[in-house]
Amino acid sequence: MSATPSAAAPQSAASSLSRPTPGQASRFLAQATFGPTPADIDAVVRDGYAAWLDAQLALPPSQTHFDWLLQQGKNTEEFKGNGINAPLESTLWRKFISAPDQVRTRVAFSLSEIFVVGVSSITASWPLFGAAGFMDLLAEHALGDYRELLTAVSRNLSMGCMLTYRGNRKEDPKTGRHPDENYAREIMQLFSIGLQELEPDGSVRMVDGAPVETYTNADVQGLAKVFTGWDINGPETDVEFHRRPMALNNAQHSMAEKRFLGAVIPAGTDGHLSLGRAMAVISAHPNVGPFIGTQLIQRLVTSNPSRAYVGRVAAAFDDDGTGARGNLKAVVRAILLDPEARNPDLDAPDWGKVREPILRFAAWARAFEATSSNGAWAMPDTTDNTIRLAQSPMRSASVFNFFRPRYVPPVTELARRHLVAPELQITDETSVAGYLNFLAIYVDRGWEDLQTPYTAEIALARDPAALVARVVLLLAGDAFSGQTAAAIAGAVSTIPPGRPRDRVRAAITLVAASPEYLVQK
């Protein structure tokens, strides 16, 4: 957490948020969506932040990944085994780049970096449908109730595979077999409360000068019994089993007493009741608001939010204004409309976050209205770190995501100031080159069927200053120095005016390569 003093009390939303400039609107859209488009910038300027956001939050989920894969006929033998998951990339990027419900889609992606499932871990047929269905589940609940989200995640087969509690059996006193502890541990460490007790503002609660750990091995062992007896629901004859919550086999569910986090589920309680009780206990823990709230702020807005900002978001989690707890729509609204997000000091050396590579690519596509020329969306696995992004959606190597929310880059001024920079965990001498090598390809010629004509930009190419101003507005909003923009315009002007498309490509490459852009403000 930033050590800087608390931000001032929230200003009146109406006065400070009413009339964004195009640059401010662009910066808002970088936080709220997969990147600004010319049309969205116009809409935010016209309607204001809150009205635009509320309209987004009211949108129902757009066509699911699962249904799109079905529509594309990917539910065949060809895609049954693991390893041929390419259509998953297609649909994930399709929605990142083109879904109308952008806020929901972006929040779902953010949640996929908290509730992490990697497609290669899905030990059931058609793993691509499992991963697609999991992202759909996150989108369905992204603006809903946290406890329902946690319950749906806990019943999901892909998560059951990822954290190995699919088929988990009750204890056997004769052989000494104990239930698999994997999910019980990680649901607490990663999906809900974390390892240490937190204050409502996200700071670590200190008792007698020391942090207080939230659970022990005994809690893990007690909660592990809840996640016994759950497994695939129905035969693997068609892909629909991936959409059904896991089924309970009560014969394999532990009927022993289950103690965890101070709660006791009495002996003899069946699986459904035990799960419901566990979800209630975990969701009611006071850590959830600051723990999940901080991570959503980090994924959308800034790596080091002030304690006051976290406190306001956690308060929205605890009570959405109607007395309801865990309303994620209220949390997202609180994050994006907070005065700290809307009116930060853009010159502060610690504000913002490194744009994660997935967002850089999506933002390029959206800014320049790239779309699939044939509906196939043939995107690659972008995990390679020498000529791709060093990150690919739903391909994290472990449940700990591509990077950790508390990552401190060693030997830096950031570390000296006790600041975190999660995305720098995948930023190194190899991946910085890899990003630029990929950028050079897609800015130049798109990717397969993903193409942009750069029409509006080419129209400005005779005036390099105007061209660069547009590129800067679309990619970086109002957080890019005039000096750098002028230098880029000067360099671009050395490309003959008779090659307008090359001027456009050079301008985009130079803006998208610069650290000023790479840190989202």
Site string for other proteins, 20-39 (x = CB under 8 A): --------------------
- Residue number with CB closer to other proteins (55 or 441): 441
Distance CA(495)–CA(41), nearest Å, equals 29
Query: CA gyration radius for the chain?
Result: 24
Distance CA(326)–CA(334), nearest Å, equals 13
- Residue number with CB closer to other proteins (408 or 456): 408
Tell me which residues in 448-477 interact with other proteins (CB under 8 A).
Answer: none
For position 354 contacting other proteins by CB under 8 A, the verdict is yes
Stretch that binds other proteins, among 214-222, 241-249, 258-266, 269-277 (CB under 8 A): 214-222
Tell me which residues in 384-403 interact with other proteins (CB under 8 A).
Answer: 385-386, 397-398, 400
- Residue number with CB closer to other proteins (73 or 453): 453
> Does residue 506 contact residue 341 with C-beta atoms inside 8 Å?
no
For position 486 contacting other proteins by CB under 8 A, the verdict is no
Q: What is the identity of the amino acid at 131?
A: A
Among 62, 233, 383, 437, binds other proteins (CB under 8 A): 437
- Residue number with CB closer to other proteins (104 or 503): 503
Among 78, 236, 345, 428, binds other proteins (CB under 8 A): 428
* β-bridge pairing 263-265 and 258-260: antiparallel
Residues 6+ apart with CB under 8 A from 351: 302, 304, 344, 345, 521
Among 430, 445, 455, 462, binds other proteins (CB under 8 A): 430
Q: Using CA atoms of 263, 266, 271, 276 in order, give the dihedral in degrees to the nearest 10.
A: -40
Distance CA(60)–CA(51), nearest Å, equals 16
Q: How far is the CB of 426 from other proteins (least distance, A)?
A: 7
For position 417 contacting other proteins by CB under 8 A, the verdict is yes
For position 408 contacting other proteins by CB under 8 A, the verdict is yes
Among 87, 431, 472, 485, binds other proteins (CB under 8 A): 431
Site string for other proteins, 165-194 (x = CB under 8 A): --xxx-----xxxxxxxx--x---x-----
CA distances from 184 to 27, 411, 455 (A): 39, 35, 53
Residue 283 corresponds to which tokens in the numbers above?
A: 């969701």
Among 221, 274, 295, 306, binds other proteins (CB under 8 A): 221
Tell me which residues in 84-143 interact with other proteins (CB under 8 A).
Answer: none
- Residue number with CB closer to other proteins (118 or 326): 118
For position 440 contacting other proteins by CB under 8 A, the verdict is yes
For position 415 contacting other proteins by CB under 8 A, the verdict is yes
How many residues bind other proteins (CB under 8 A)? The answer is 85
For position 163 contacting other proteins by CB under 8 A, the verdict is yes
Other CB atoms within a 10 A radius of the CB of residue 218 amount to 10
Stretch that binds other proteins, among 95-103, 139-147, 148-156, 418-426 (CB under 8 A): 418-426
CA distances from 366 to 34, 43, 59, 109 (A): 8, 15, 19, 16
Stretch that binds other proteins, among 9-17, 200-208, 217-225, 320-328 (CB under 8 A): 217-225
Among 130, 293, 344, 352, binds other proteins (CB under 8 A): 352
Distance CA(245)–CA(233), nearest Å, equals 7
- Residue number with CB closer to other proteins (55 or 436): 436
Residues 6+ apart with CB under 8 A from 477: 23, 24, 25, 26, 27, 28, 29, 30, 36, 521
CA distances from 183 to 118, 141, 395 (A): 15, 20, 19
For position 341 contacting other proteins by CB under 8 A, the verdict is no
For position 359 contacting other proteins by CB under 8 A, the verdict is no
Dihedral angle sign, alpha carbons of residues 273, 276, 279, 283: negative
